[in-house]
Amino acid sequence: MDLYLNDFLCYEAPTPMQDGCIKNHSFFTWFYPRKCLFSSKTGVKEMMSRLKKFYKLMLDKGFIEKDNYEMLIDEFKEYKDEYLSFYDNYDSMDDFW
């Protein structure tokens, strides 16, 4: 979570945690695969799980709106395969970079 909250959300311009739940697509398609040498399919799955749990807690505590949390969940359902596909041909990533 530290990577997402403190590195990604502050990378270009500081983004409040509450707005972070709608910026996941750029995290998983740009920041994570390019900026994290340790990124992998397993890491993507773990990060998605952590983000779901974190933002569920933020929803329960009243820090985010239910619509934003549902958008996060829907985005993960819709784009999970795309996020994971970045690592299918990790050894030949010339087209990727």
Residue 29 near residue 76 (C-beta atoms within 8 A): no
- Residue 70 counted as domain residue: yes
Confidence at residue 33, expressed as pLDDT on a 0 to 100 scale: 86
Confidence at residue 1, expressed as pLDDT on a 0 to 100 scale: 81
The pLDDT-based confidence of 95 (bands split at 50, 70, 90) is low
- Residue 95 counted as domain residue: no
* Structural domains counted in the chain: 1
- Give the integer Cα–Cα distance in Å for 33 and 96: 10
pLDDT, tens only, 25-78: 889 988 998 888 888 899 999 999 999 999 999 999 999 999 999 999 999 999
- Residue 44 counted as domain residue: yes
Enter the pTM of the model. 0.84
- Residue 41 counted as domain residue: yes
Residue 70's CB is within 10 A of a number of other CB atoms, namely 12
- Residue 15 counted as domain residue: no
What is the extent of the structural domain holding 6? 2-10+20-89
- Residue 97 counted as domain residue: no
- Residue 94 counted as domain residue: no
With 70 as the cut, is the pLDDT of residue 80 above it?
Answer: yes
- Residue 33 counted as domain residue: yes
Identify the DSSP state of 9. T
Place of tokens 């784009």: 79
